[in-house]
Chains A and B, each alone.
Chain A
Amino acid sequence: MADVRIQGVTKSFGDTVAINDLDLAIKDGEFVVLLGPTGAGKTTTLRLIAGLERPDSGTIHIGGHDATTLSPAERDTAFVFQQYSLYPHLSVFDNLAFPLRSPARRFPEEAVRRRVEDVARMVRIDHKLDNRSTKLSGGEMQRVAIGRALVRKPAIYLMDEPLSSLDAKLRADLRLELKRIQSELGATMLYVTHDQIEAMTMADRIGILADGVLVQIGTPRAIYSEPANLHVAARLGQPAINLLPAGLLPDGGAPTGTKTIGARTEHLAIEKATNGHADGVVDWVEHLGDQNHLHVTVGTKKLVTLTDPDTPLAKGDKVAIRYIAPLYFGSDGQRLM
């Protein structure tokens, strides 16, 4: 394991700037998640570190060595692709052994077998080692793909949305397994996703990418409660943060220059209007089972919050709404303190 340092890296494809002046340092043993929408430059960042792309400018250091111009084979990274790129002509065992059998390594076959069996147990695929890789379910294929990265002990594991093609249940299971494996190995890992739950649950630090720029990086807690700007605030939280114009609701204590107020569920106190004063009307209560989504119309704006499953509120009720220390954003979209 080793640390990875990216300094001032820019990469364009034709006229499109995929990565713009990126600085990112990943500490030894750290689990960093890059979160961003499609086209934000997440995958390009991984490919730059792996050596599948060359940066137009800037440097990449892996384990203290300048790796900017090294070939992928010389960099000692392991990559899990978004699509399970298992070799269809090989068995599960041979897929897992493939990285160890590379001419650059030359492990004795006995050591290969031991290592493959260890990893197969770790990713819980040891009962299917002799299967053809095409005869596996989606979850099994993805476990093999992750296992193929884990058989080596590279400087850094690079994972490109490894769980995105799986169904929800499997994704939750593998998410836990992956985090467990990572902390067991003490692995340095850069993980790319557009799933905020994966980011929140697994990351030591989350980096938010937008249009090739690293907007903010910090602990999941910091990213969630102290977003740098509107974009970051909108990436996290379920239901999505309500962005309301200043002055729509009583907002005593808003700093000067506040243009937008960001209010998540925990920033709002909603109760039935009692003394004739009402801020909004309940549109509809969406039953999710363990909780409810409450849709409220305030003037011309709509807001959505979580509420108890046994909420007394019903469609048509007039409600009073109060902010509880919400997030304030200036006209440039940056958060105000």
Chain B
Amino acid sequence: MNTKNHVNILPEVSRRSFLKGGLALTGASVLGGGALAGSALAASVSEKTGKSSKWVKSYCGSCIWANCGTEIKVVDGVAVEIRGNKEHPSNKGTLCPRGAAQLMNLYNPYRIKAPMKRTNPQKGLDVDPGWVEISWEEAMDTITEKIKEAQAKDPRKLMKMYGFAGNLHETPFVKLFTSIFDTPNYSMSCGPLCEVHHAPAMFNATFVDRIDVGHCNYLIAFGRNLGGSAMFASGPGRALSDAVDRGMKVVVVDPHATPDASKGEWIPIRPGTDTAMAMAMLHVILHELNTFDVDAMKNRSNAPYLIDEQGDYVRDQVSNKPLLWDEADNKAKAYDDPTLTNPALLGEYNVNGVSAVPAFVKLRESVATSTPEWAEEISSVPAEEIRRITQELVEAACIGSTITIDGVEFPYRPVAVTTGRGSANNMQGMRFYILTNIINLVLGAIGVPGSLVCAANARYLFEDGMMREYPIAYYTTDREEKFSIPQNDYTIKQFYPLSRFPILGGTMGAILDPQKYYLDYDIEVFFPYGANPFINDADFETTVKAFQKIPFVFTLAYHMDETTMFCDIVLPECSHLERYQNRPIEETMVVGRDTIALNGLNYKEPAVDLIYNTRQYDDIILELADRLGLTPKLNAIYNSFYRLSGEFSLDPGKKYTYQEMLEIRLKGFSGDASKGVEYFREHGFLMKNKPLKECYEYYFFKGNGRLPIYNWRDFSAGKALKRSLDKFGVKVPGWDNMDEVMREYTPVPKWFDNYLTNPSDEFDMTVANWKLSPRNLGLGGQDDNVWLREIVETWEYDGLNIQINPITAAQKGLKTGDKVIVESQHGGTVEGILQVTNLIHPEVLGFPAQAGRVSQFMNPISHKGPNYNRLLTYKEGYILADNGSISVSARVKIRKAGVK
């Protein structure tokens, strides 16, 4: 493989430029920069030392949103420094601690240095695989043979897994693997703990919604990182800081006081009870204040859609279009009737002999009794606090006012109620996320300046006059048509029609007992890549058994992590500073005025020659495809994925290297033959920013599609599922009470007691978990990065300790430094050191980040601290019934270690 470094070494250039006395300020600061950037191709040979030195343009690979442009200083072939690229509009020369630490990821002696095969057939987390080094040829021969053998019997016997392990899934061939290699089977180690995509799809036509803090004045965040708590340097941290400087009020509702909360107000809450509090907020808005955006309700939502007694839309008998009641002439009309003037929000009507009410009535009724006093009992948030912040929110919403952007008049609603994983990945979490968006919509604050908005490149579909949730793959009618017994695939998604990701617990259960899951074939070859369900997810014991059962497992890995312990062959992977790659620039989560419109492409190539005998994932895929005769298919899929055509597209009949494919991809993106690899090598990125007006989806929705205050689609998905299960006479493992399953599909907010809120046994506390700046998703090798670990243990306030409130600690006779054992209601236990702090709810034990790695082949520094996920479960019956995710919380009890 070609490992040559393509960065030009130019003749010596003088870069010395001394500061003059008059140059007062060069900080990348609020007062503006003035610093002299190193030129893109700057390379020089030092007069003093005779060493060659250059700065290589790259982008960061230490988190899921690889937006940040970087520069790597290479002296005599050694990377000695990384800094942010000052010309890059995302990070503007800055970095987060994870990005700043990446040299120790590149030069980590615990990396895998050559292909390995196991000699010990026994597999386990504590079993020595007896690794022996083999050649690339032997490794690839074996893998190819195994895939061929299995797929000759049934192509579905090959399964892929990925998700948030040591390395970043930045490559296109992670997503494209299943279509290239013709199997429906994939799994994700991160999926069950990432339930944050459904509501953004429904309300913003987007995968991850973004808070427009450039305009927002009042922001309520439930269990969500706003960009400062777990720092994102590409823009969220800066945007949040700018907004707080400008005077934006931040209210953080969370079991623990985050760094973001410390810049505003902290409202502590019991985990898993957010739905009760949000229902009380909606109660205050609709029943106490009776103040909402009437225009948004009548014209931008399905509030006027008529609902019959079964909960369905009342439809026109001929056109099948949903009907509304026009108060102007007291007639039922289709949503797109040109004579529709004044849709009714209240009242009861008789249409086609059916009694019906506007959806708005259903919504109001659903929160009629959910008073703040009721919610206080459940959530522990004082009723007067719920009233106060709701009133402040409504007042700050500026209902009725407008703002003009790019010549387009938008509603101006500078408020947002936002949801993150801490709240959404919990009991009724999907409903909760939708509920907070209903609150936004009731105030008109969605898709408009100051509110929660779409990410770049959202696509819009409309159906029944409603915006249809584009990124959700499986849904109602399509799902019912495709429902099959035996099941076609191991994702188990057909039992969870609202799931975004495969159901890990279901997949592992199905591997162990296919019949129980209505499957009539086994998985024979398994390729986990960038996946670590043993650490990143619950119930590792079950996962161990499933991995042990699959006859052939192989991976490509950066270090010998827990997943490699179950592999027959391990291929060594390039670190992300040794790869050729590209990645879209799309600012995420929190956007400011300088980042909302950013849209572009980052590029990188190896900053240094390969340190070990490693290859990158893309090369492996190209070779495997070639060996299996799939190159033409791969090329065609690549073209369609990147929408490449004509001059800038792959010839399906030709075999390319990944660098050649990147050249075509870059030209396809820029649409310019002169802007290929060479251009990107010099600059590191290319921007094609969005017009500002297109950053607010109101621009696309208005007059085309409404948003749901009444969730007819999810409600229908539940009914379709029930029909399918009844038709085939199927019982999903763990579903003993179908009423409890079906109630999750409620079209309006509803509260249910659950295993987190009904403490009826000895488990008297709940646990919560959050990201840290030096350790967020674990991507980019954060657990064994020596600098990041030192920071976590030395300077990070939360560290690796278990947090407890002083009131509770006193009651239990516990103190800071005590070694404790925490036992979960699901059976898992973890051990850790206690830290008494006022930053946590008295009924909650706090677990910052994630630790406690167990692979004996990783740097021992990664073994310290508790592994939080051991307290959780993906067992049958505990998987969240509508979406297949699992709760990030559990009830637990705590005791001093050594004391029974």
A, B in one complex: no
Task: Name B residues whose Cβ lies closer than 8 Å to a Cβ of A.
Answer: none
